[in-house]
Amino acid sequence: MPGLGTSFGRGGATTAQQDLANSDAILIMGSSMAENHPVGFQWVIKARENGAKIIHVDPRFTRTSAMADIWAPLRPGTDIIFLGGLIHYVLTHDKMFREYVEHYTNATTILRSDFKDTEELGGIFSGWDAEQKKYDFTTWLYEGEQKKKEQPGHSEIDGGHGKDRGGEAGEADIQTDDPTMENPRCVFQVLKKHFARYTPEFVEEQCGTPRDVFLKIAETFANASGRERTGAICYAVGWTQHSKGPQIIRCAAILQLLLGNIGRPGGGILALRGHASIQGSTDIPTLYDILPGYLPMPFFESGSANLGEFIDKHRSQTGWWYNFDKYIVSLLKAWYGDKATRANEFGFGWLPRVTGDHSEFGYWLDMADGKMDGLFVMGQNPAVGAPNGRLERKALAKLKWLVVRDMVETETASFWRNSPEVDRGEIKPKELATEVFLFPAAGQAEKSGTFTNTQRLVQFHNQAIDPPGDARSENWFIYHLGQRLKAKAAADLRPRNAGLNALTWQYATHGDDAEPNPEDILQEINGYTVADRKLVDGFKKLEADGSTACGCWIYSGIFPEPGKNKANMREPHNYLGHGWGYAWPADRRILYNRCSAAPNGEPWSERKKLVWWDKAKQEWTGIDVPDWNLKKTPDYQPAPDAKGDDGIAGDKPFIMHPDGRGWIYVTSGLKDGPLPAHYEPLESPFSNALYPKYDANPAANRKERVDNPYISQTGDSRFPHVLTTYRLTEHHTAGGMSRTLGHLAELQPELFCEVSPEMAAEADLEHGKWATITTPRGIIEARVLVTSRMTPLWVSGRRVHTVGVPYHYGYNGTVTGDVVNDLLAISEEPNVRIMETKALVCDIRAGRRAKGEGALAELNDKMNEAA
Amino acid sequence: MFEGGLLKGWPVLKQVRSADWHATGETAWSPRTESLLPRHHDAEVTSSICPYCGVGCGQLIYHKDNELISIEGDPNSPISRGHLCPKGANTHELHTHAGRLKTVKYRAPYATEWQTIPLERAMDMVAERMWETRDRTFVEEQDGRSVMHTLGMAHLGGATLDNEENYLIKKLFAGGLGMNCISNQARI
C-alpha cells in the first residue's frame, strides 16, 4: 500500500479486473494470476484475444506462463533489478510518454542540492544514521519545501498504513519546476542517474534472465504507451512479501508513470490481493496503526496531546487531506455519540495511544517472552500461515488464555494437543496452563455483510440460511461481548472506562439469537447527520463541528438513503460494472482517471477515452465517474493560498497529493528511500553486486534472536540454494478452508517441493520420493516433484538452484503435511513490517526427516556444521 | 412402457411422432427419467459473494427450508460472469462438511482433551478474562498525557471477515477497550 499510496495518493489497486481486456500489453510479475486469481484471469485471456501481448516474469514456469506470449525466469529477490532494467530501457530508448510525464508527474520538480542518491553514497541515500538504522529525510524534500515540525509517516513505530504515506512531512505543494527536465537536480535527471547501471547485461548477470528475452519484454511493454496504447501491470504477494516489498511496487509505479499508463483504460496497476476482504480489512482496519479510512492512530510520542495538534500534524493544506479534521471528528462522533462533544475534543483522549511496535510480529515476540495474557484469533491460522511456526506456536503456550473463532479446529486452536511442538516434547499438555476457547463461526452463506475485493469494490453478500448450532457471526460475537463489557464499565466509572461507557453500542437485531443487522452497521460506516440521523450521500457532506458522524469516510456514499444499499446493487450497466456493488471512493472504478484526458481536457485518443471535459456543459463526463471535481476547468490555476481541492490545478490528476502529481520520486513517506534501490534478500547466496557495502535493505529489521536465527553470512555454505514459497489453486492460505474439504483435498492431497531435473541429479532427489528441507528456523519433509518448469539460473558467473514449495499444509484436516512456514524467519520490512517469504536460502537432501525430538536434533546438527 | 396408454406411452409411436429415428432422445426416457428435476428446482436463490480470494466472484446460493442445496457462480457478475474456480465451486462443502464446528470447545488448564460448554457461559468466561486482564494491565497516562491503553491482550484476524465485523472489532477493542495490539493478514 505505501508503494501505491506514496506514488499516487491512495494505497489500492488503480483499476478493475475487467479493464484488463482493454490493455495492449499486460505484465504479470510477482504473481501467478492464472493459478491464484483464476476467474480474474479470464480478462487477461480476453485481452490476448483482442491482440494484447501477455508477459509473465516468474522464477517458475507456471500455468500463467503457459498462457503468456513471453515468459522470463528471474532469481527470487531480484525484481528491482529487472524492473529497474525496464525503467532504464524506457529512459535510454526514449519510450516515455513525454506530455503525460511533464504535466502529470513530478519528473520536472527540482530537488535540494544536498540530496545524495545511492549511486553517490555507495548504497544509501543522504540522511542515513547508521547507529539508529534509520533515515532523516530532510534532504529528500523538494527544493523550497518547508519541513513540518511533526514528521508523520516516519515514526519508528508506525506500520505504514496511515495516510502519512504521501509526504506530509513537508508541504509538497511548494516546488520549483523545470519543464524541460534538463536541470541536473530535477527528478527526471536524478532518476536517470539512479538507474544508469540497470543495463540488460546487469539484468542477465544478476537475475539470470537471458538478455534477449529481457529486451523483448522491455520492447513489448514499452511499446504499449502513448496516446493510442496502454499497458497494465498485475502483481501479488510475489512482490510484497520481501524485505523491500513497497520499493518493488514503486518500480512499477515509476514505470507506469513514465509510460503514461496510470488512470487510463487498459493501464494502471492491479494489485491482486489474496483474501475475500483483505482490502476491506485495511480500509476499515483491524490494524494497529490506523483508524478507518486510513486516518492514523494517535501516537504517544507526538501529535497526540490534543485534537488540534493531531489535526495539524496530519492535514495537508492542498488536496483532499485538507479535510482531515472533518474525517476524524465524524469518526469520533460515530464511535462516542452524544458523549463526544467539543468540550472533550469529541473523545479524542479516549483513543489508545500507540507506544511501540504493536503489529503482529511486535506483539507476538512479546507473547513469546511471556508478556501477554490473552489473544483473540478470528478467521486466521498463524500456526500455519505465519513465519517461524515453531516460535509462533510456542508463544501461544505462554498465554493465559486464547480465544479462536473459526469454522473448523485449526492448527492454531489445537497447538496444545497436536502440533510439532507436542510431538517433539517442547509443549507438554499436562504441564500447560493455557486456557483455550474454540468458538464455531458462521460461514459467508450464513450471514450478511460486505466484502471489499481487490479492486476496491464493496459487494454485499446476503444471508441464505442460519448458522448451525452455536455457530455465530463475528458481528454477533463482538456485539454481545461488548454488551457484557459495557455492563461492567457502567458499574466502574474510572477515567479508563470513559471511552467504553461513551461507546455507541446499540444496533438493531433480528431473530431468536439477536443477530445485529449488518445494514445498520453499514449505515453507521456510511455516515449520517447527528441531529436527525439522516444518512449522508458522500464524504463532501462531512463536517468538523460534531454535526456529522461517519465510521469510514472513504466508504461514505455507499448507503446514501434508507433502503439504498449500493453494495447490494446487482444491475451492472457498463463494462466497469456501475450498478453492481460500490467502489470506493465515490464509485470511481479507475482511479486518477483525469489522466485519461490531455491537459486541455480532450481524450488522448478516441481509442483510449475514459473521462473528458464537455465544453458545452462545462463539466467533466465520461464512461467512469471522474476521480475529479466535475466543475474544475482544465486550465484552472489555483491562487497562491488556495486550500484543499481548490489548491490543485486543472491539469494535476493526483488529487490526494498536495501538488496533484504522480510521484516518480517520493519526497517523504517511505522509510527506506525516495527511489527504489536493489538490495539482496535478508538471506541470499549472493552479495549485492550494485552496493557491496549493503547486502540487504539496511532499514529492514531482522528481529534476530535465539529463537529467530538467521544464516551467519551471505553465501552460508550450509544453505546453498534459494527457497521460494507460493500457492496452489486448489488450496487457500493456511488451509482451514480447503484442506478440510474432500474435493479440494483430493485435488491437492500432499505437500511437495518442485526442483529442476539438474538439481535433482545434483542432490540425488527422485521424483515422487521424499526430500527434507532445512533452514536455520526449521526442518520439513515433502514429496519431490522433478520438473523442467523449474530452471537453474546463471548468476554472477555461477549456477544457482531454486527450490519451490507451496505453503498450505498443516497437521489438521483431511489432508495434512509439514508446515512450510516453519522454515521462514520473522522479519519486518521497514515500512509495513511484512515478512520475507519469497526469497531465502535452504538446504535439501533426499529422504524423510527424523521424527519427534529427532527432528530438532537433526536441525541442531545442521546448524553445527561449518558455515 | 405403456404408461399413459398405448397411444401416449408406446416408444415406437413417440418416435414416429417426433421423428426421433435413432431413439436416443426424449423418446428413450423412462418415466423415472422424465420425472427428474435439478436439485435446486424449487429452491430459493440468494445472491452472495465468494469467501475465498480477492477476485470477488458472484455466487448464487440455492437453499430451501434452511438447508443449502448448491452454490453456483452468478452469471450477472461483471467480474466473474458466472465462473468459479475450484475453491469457490466448493463453497457448498465449506459450509456442510462433517468437520464443521457447531458447539463451543473449551480446554481447561492442564487438560488433554476438549470439553463442550454452552455458548452463553463461554461468552461470560471470555468477558471476565478480558476485564481482569485489562484491569491489571491498563495504563491511563504517562508524563501527564493520555495513553489509555492495554497491551496485555491482542487480536489477530480480519481479511476473511466482513467489513462490518472488522468495524465492530476495531470500535470495541480499540475505541472502547483501549487495545492497541490489533493485526490481520494485511500488510501491504
Chain A residues lying within 8 Å of B57, measured CB to CB? 39
Do residue B159 and residue A522 have CB atoms under 8 angstroms apart? no
Arithmetic mean of pLDDT, A534-541:
97
pLDDT, tens only, B111-165: 999 999 999 999 999 999 999 999 999 999 999 889 999 999 999 999 999 999 9
**B77/B83 Cα distance (integer angstroms):** 9
Determine which of B138, B161, B172 to mutate to test the interface with A (most A C-beta atoms within 10 Å): B161
- Total beta-carbon pairs less than 8 A apart between chain A and chain B: 493
B143 and A CB contact within 8 Å: no
Q: Is-contact A445 A466, C-beta < 8 A?
A: no
Q: Nearest-CA residue of chain B relative to A451?
A: B162
Cis preceding-peptide flag for A2 (omega within 30 of 0): no
Short-list A59, A127, A277, A148, CA closest to A759: A59
End-to-end CA distance of chain A: 38
Q: What is the percentage of chain A residues whose pLDDT exceeds 90? A: 93
Chain A residues lying within 8 Å of B68, measured CB to CB? 445, 464-465
Paired strand residues for A403: A376, A437
Chain A residues lying within 8 Å of B77, measured CB to CB? 572, 580
pLDDT at A657 over 70: yes
Task: Give A517-522 contacts, CB < 8 A, sequence gap 24+.
Answer: A518/A447, A518/A448, A518/A449, A518/A450, A518/A475, A518/B162, A518/B164, A519/A448, A519/A559, A519/A565, A521/A475, A521/A551, A521/B164, A521/B167, A521/B168, A522/A449, A522/A450, A522/A460, A522/A558, A522/A559, A522/A565, A522/A567, A522/B163, A522/B164
B159 and A CB contact within 8 Å: yes
pLDDT, tens only, A300-349: 998 899 999 999 989 888 888 899 999 999 999 999 999 999 999 999 99
Cα A630 versus chain centre, distance: 30
Task: Give B136-144 contacts, CB < 8 A, sequence gap 24+.
Answer: B136/A373, B137/A373, B138/A496, B138/B178, B140/A495, B140/A496, B142/A300
Arithmetic mean of pLDDT, A491-517:
97
Q: What residues contact A184, with CB distance under 8 A and at least 6 apart?
A: none
Do residue A379 and residue B112 have CB atoms under 8 angstroms apart? no
Q: What residues contact A168, with CB distance under 8 A and at least 6 apart?
A: A148, A152, A153, A313, A314, A316, A321, A668, A669
Taking the CA of residue B163 and the nearest CA in chain A, the distance in Å comes to 6
Do residue B161 and residue A379 have CB atoms under 8 angstroms apart? yes
Q: Nearest-CA residue of chain B relative to A358?
A: B181
The pLDDT, as a whole number, for residue A166 is 43
Taking the CA of residue B120 and the nearest CA in chain A, the distance in Å comes to 10
**A77/A679 Cα distance (integer angstroms):** 8
Taking the CA of residue A542 and the nearest CA in chain B, the distance in Å comes to 19
pLDDT at A532 over 80: yes
Q: Nearest-CA residue of chain B relative to A499?
A: B176
pTM over 0.90: yes
Q: Nearest-CA residue of chain A relative to B172?
A: A482
Q: Nearest-CA residue of chain A relative to B188?
A: A1
Arithmetic mean of pLDDT, A734-747:
97
Do residue B166 and residue A730 have CB atoms under 8 angstroms apart? no
Do residue B87 and residue A729 have CB atoms under 8 angstroms apart? yes
Short-list B173, B159, B185, B186, CA closest to A161: B186
pLDDT at B94 over 70: yes
Do residue A380 and residue B55 have CB atoms under 8 angstroms apart? no
Task: Look up residue A378 and give its DSSP letter.
Answer: E
Chain B residues lying within 8 Å of A732, measured CB to CB? 52-53, 87
The shortest CB-CB distance from A743 to any of B47, B90, B111 is to B90
Q: Record the cell numbers describing residue A471, joined without a space.
A: 455457530
Taking the CA of residue B136 and the nearest CA in chain A, the distance in Å comes to 10
Task: Look up residue B17 and give its DSSP letter.
Answer: H
Which contiguous run of DSSP H or E holds residue A477?
helix A474-490
**C-alpha distance from residue A620 to each of A266, A582, A610, B160 (Å):** 20, 21, 11, 38
**B172/A607 Cα distance (integer angstroms):** 50
Indicate the angle between helix axes A245-258 and A79-92, nearest 10 degrees: 20
Taking the CA of residue B32 and the nearest CA in chain A, the distance in Å comes to 29
B90 and A CB contact within 8 Å: yes
Name residue, grid cell 482433551.
Answer: B113
Q: What residues contact A282, with CB distance under 8 A and at least 6 apart?
A: A1, A11, A161, A290, B186
Q: What is the percentage of chain A residues whose pLDDT exceeds 70? A: 97
What confidence tier does A407 reach under pLDDT thresholds 50, 70, 90?
Answer: very high
Which of A607-616, A854-863, B24-33 is predicted least confidently? Answer: B24-33
Chain A residues lying within 8 Å of B151, measured CB to CB? 355-356, 358, 363, 366, 371-372
Collapsing DSSP to helix, strand or coil, A439 comes out as strand
**A769/A781 Cα distance (integer angstroms):** 10
Helices and strands (H and E) in chain B: how many: 7, 9
pLDDT at A59 over 90: yes
Q: Nearest-CA residue of chain B relative to A492?
A: B135
Taking the CA of residue B41 and the nearest CA in chain A, the distance in Å comes to 16
Residue A172 or B42, more confident:
B42
Residue B11 or A530, more confident:
A530
The pLDDT, as a whole number, for residue B47 is 98
Q: Is-contact B165 A449, C-beta < 8 A?
A: yes
Do residue A282 and residue B94 have CB atoms under 8 angstroms apart? no
Mean pLDDT across chain A: 95
DSSP per position, B118-147: -HHHHHHHHHHHHHHHHHHHEEEEETTEEE
pLDDT at A476 over 70: yes
Which contiguous run of DSSP H or E holds residue A406?
strand A401-406
**C-alpha distance from residue A398 to each of A137, A393, A402, A406, A853 (Å):** 40, 9, 10, 21, 21
B70 and A CB contact within 8 Å: no
What confidence tier does B6 reach under pLDDT thresholds 50, 70, 90?
Answer: low
Q: A437 — phi, psi (to 5°)?
A: -110, 130
Q: What is the percentage of chain B residues whose pLDDT exceeds 90? A: 79
pLDDT at A452 over 70: yes
Helices and strands (H and E) in chain A: how many: 25, 30
Name residue, grid cell 457532506.
Answer: A541
Collapsing DSSP to helix, strand or coil, A361 comes out as helix
B116 and A CB contact within 8 Å: no
Cα A682 versus chain centre, distance: 20
The number of C-alpha atoms within 13 Å of A383 and in the hemisphere containing its C-beta is 28
Do residue A737 and residue B51 have CB atoms under 8 angstroms apart? yes
The shortest CB-CB distance from A376 to any of B123, B148, B156 is to B156
DSSP per position, A130-156: TTTTEE-GGGGSBTTPPBPSS-TT--T
Which contiguous run of DSSP H or E holds residue A752?
strand A752-755
B121 and A CB contact within 8 Å: no
The shortest CB-CB distance from A744 to any of B86, B95, B159 is to B86
Where are any strands of DSSP class E within A421-544?
A: 435-440, 449-452, 457-461, 509-510, 515-516, 528-529, 534-535
What confidence tier does A11 reach under pLDDT thresholds 50, 70, 90?
Answer: confident
pLDDT, tens only, A147-173: 665 555 566 676 776 665 444 444 566
What confidence tier does A487 reach under pLDDT thresholds 50, 70, 90?
Answer: very high
Chain B residues lying within 8 Å of A375, measured CB to CB? 153-156
Q: What would you measure as the largest C-alpha separation in chain B, in angstroms? A: 99
Do residue A372 and residue B123 have CB atoms under 8 angstroms apart? no
**A547/A531 Cα distance (integer angstroms):** 7
Do residue A379 and residue B159 have CB atoms under 8 angstroms apart? yes
Q: What residues contact A94, with CB distance under 8 A and at least 6 apart?
A: none
**A295/A725 Cα distance (integer angstroms):** 33
Q: Record the cell numbers describing residue A465, joined without a space.
A: 440460511
pLDDT at A267 over 80: yes
pLDDT, tens only, A117-158: 999 999 999 999 999 999 998 999 999 876 665 555 566 676
B124 and A CB contact within 8 Å: yes
Collapsing DSSP to helix, strand or coil, A218 comes out as helix
Determine which of A64, A350, A496 to mutate to test the interface with B (most B C-beta atoms within 10 Å): A496
Taking the CA of residue A846 and the nearest CA in chain B, the distance in Å comes to 32
Indicate the angle between helix axes A187-194 and A79-92, nearest 10 degrees: 120
Rg (CA), chain A: 26
**A766/A755 Cα distance (integer angstroms):** 10
B75 and A CB contact within 8 Å: no
